[in-house]
Structure formats: C-alpha cells, structure tokens
Structure 1
Amino acid sequence: MSYTIREVSQKVNVSTYSIRYYDDHGLLPTIKRDENNNRVFDDVDLEWIEVVACLRATGMSLAKIKHYVELCLKGKETVRERYRIMIEQQRETMAQAEKIQAHLRLITKKVDHYANVLLDQKPDTLMPSKELKKIYAQDY
C-alpha cells in the first residue's frame, strides 16, 4: 500500500513539514518518489517516521538519529551499537518521565489546594511548597 505525505502525517501524527525535514536530512532512507517527484510512502516508511519522531520527541539530536539510521542500514553487524543507543535513550527518557511525574504531583497538589480554597475550606497561601523548591533546585 502507498500513501501520500498528508495521509502519512495523519496516520502517524507528525506534521508534513517534519516528515519533509526528516527526509531531506537523510533520516528516512526508504522513501521513494513518483514520476512527479512527489514522495511516496509505504508501511516501512511509516515505521521509520514513527521511530525518528519518537527519538526526536525524547530529546535525541538529529546527528545521533542520523548515526542510528546509518547503523541500521549497515545491517546485523551494528546491532550491538544500536542496542547501546536505545538503552541510553531509554534511560534518558525514563529520567525525563520521572521529572514530569514530580511536576505532575506538584500541579495536582496545587489543583487540590485551589479546589479547597474555592470551597472555602482552606485559606489561599502563595508560598511555594517545599516540593516545588526541591524540583526547581534539581532542574535549574
């Protein structure tokens, strides 16, 4: 089955601009062109786009993604290095998720606080919590 860039964009929830950018920078190695030089995508291309978009969304640099793609194209002898790259990205993504969870806990605490204030069950205080100070001391 083949798809247009618009169809691909909708299927994988990645902008057409990003797809073109990834292709122009050599991150989508299997994309073909039709007689009018329009990109034509298949299911393999969709998988590549999803992987590249995931790696970008989790903070991997374009240069590192390009290196990963090049390793994939070299075949089985690069599996160990590709594994190492994915383990490293997994660790970084888990650390990001832990920070997001800490932020979410604080936001949830503030939502509960303001709900109680609105119900006249608690006075409104503007002092940041110890948890907020701890989060920002780690991040900034």
Structure 2
Amino acid sequence: MIYTMMQACKEADMTYQALKYYCNEGLVPNVKRDKNNRRIFDEKDKIYLFYIFSPLCYDTK
C-alpha cells in the first residue's frame, strides 16, 4: 500500500511539518515521489517512521 505524507503522519503520530523536516534533512532514507513530485511512503517506510520517530517507542523513565 502507498501512503501520502498526511497518511504517513497520522500513522506515525507526527505533524506534517516534522515529517517534511525529517525528509529534507535526510533522516528518512530513500523517500520516493509520485508523478507529481509529492513524497510517498510504502509499508516499509511506515514501519520505519513508527519505530524510529514515534514517542511511544522511547522509555522516559
């Protein structure tokens, strides 16, 4: 399945601006684009975003 930026943001529980920043800084590897040059994400990218950038994955204690 292919996800748009907004769908990926909702899945990873982050803002659009944060995901755009991470992509621009190269923190999200191999970002693909559609024919209109918009960023798109697949299942592998979604899992990466969730586990790397989700605050739920960090133990704050």
Gaps of 5+ in 2: none
Matched residue count? 60
Report the Cα offset of residue 53 of structure 1. Answer: 1.1
**Would you tell me which structure has more helix in proportion to its own residues?**
1
TM-score using structure 2 length: 0.79
Structure number with larger C-alpha Rg: 1
Deviation at 1:30, TM superposition (A): 2.8
Spell out structure 1 runs of 4+ moving beyond 4 A: none
Which residue of the partner structure matches residue 46 of structure 1? 46
Using the size of structure 1 for normalisation, the TM-score is 0.38
Which residue of structure 2 aligns with residue 18 of structure 1?
Answer: 18
Superposed CA deviations along residues 37-93 of structure 1, whole A, max 9, x for unmatched, are: 100111111122123314xx4xxxxxxxxxxxxxxxxxxxxxxxxxxxxxxxxxxx6
Q: Which residue of 2 aligns with 1:34?
A: 34
